[in-house]
Amino acid sequence: MAGTAVEAEIRKFGALADRWWDPGGPMKPLHRMNPLRTGWIAERIARAHGRTGRDLSGLTLLDVGCGAGLAAEAFARFGARVTGVDAAADAVAAARAHAAAGGLEIEYREGGPEDLLAEGARFDAVVALEVVEHVEERAAFYAALAGLASGPVFLSTLNRTARSFLMAKLGAEYLLRLLPVGTHDWKMFVTPGELGAGLKRAGLRVTDIAGMTMDPLTGGWRESRDLGVNYLVMAGR
């Protein structure tokens, strides 16, 4: 264990670093999902600052568990000053290289949110997308997110339901091969009630929630009221 990060999870996702930016590779579902989740978040951050659309110009944003930078780069293109942190060194190296190739100024750090918290860092918004289902020390993780945020905190994750087991575990990993086998442990999925209670103990309350639903024909994602598999949460004080 490195802080709130699990060593086995670090190795697993670090091994995917060189294919992270391949839209047809092992991170294909994240590529398809990214416009929905980053757009949903950017609109709410902008609204909180009295702005329209997805204007994040000059705002600081921390992407926790940033991987090779899919979400971080999207937020940077919305104008945010982005810091990404991840415990997988290979993923951070891939993120730095891709941002440099695209002319984006993003600060990437190897480590966990607790490292930045110890430094006294604060951000206008903190996001942790498809991360919490890989974290065992969740109370410490939520506390770190809360401590780093001077504004809203956003998480996206998978609900622990029979349907998510069929679709996100068996279907995505074994039948359709959308994700490498072993990407997820269904027992680590988080129900909205569990997530809300954990955030509450960290001093945050859920202020918005939405489902993310994939169109099986196109592979595209849309916002929905269905929280049964993938969902997004916004929380604040």
pLDDT tens per residue across span 84-102: 999 999 999 999 999 999 9
Q: Is 196 labeled as ligand-binding?
A: no
* AA letter at 223: E
Q: How many CB atoms lie within 10 A of CB 14?
A: 19
Q: Is 117 labeled as ligand-binding?
A: no
pLDDT tens per residue across span 63-75: 999 999 999 999 9
- As a whole number, mean pLDDT of residues 217-225 equals 89
Beta bridge partners of 208: 234
Q: Is 129 labeled as ligand-binding?
A: yes
What's the pLDDT at 175? Answer: 47
Domains recognised in the chain with CATH numbers: 7-236 (3.40.50.150)
Contacts for 176 with CB less than 8 Å, ≥ 6 apart = none
Least confident segment among 29-38, 146-155, 157-166, 189-198: 157-166
* AA letter at 52: T
- As a whole number, mean pLDDT of residues 192-221 equals 94
Q: Is 65 labeled as ligand-binding?
A: yes
* AA letter at 139: A
- 95 vs 48, 75, 86, 111, 150, CA distance in Å? 28, 14, 10, 14, 25
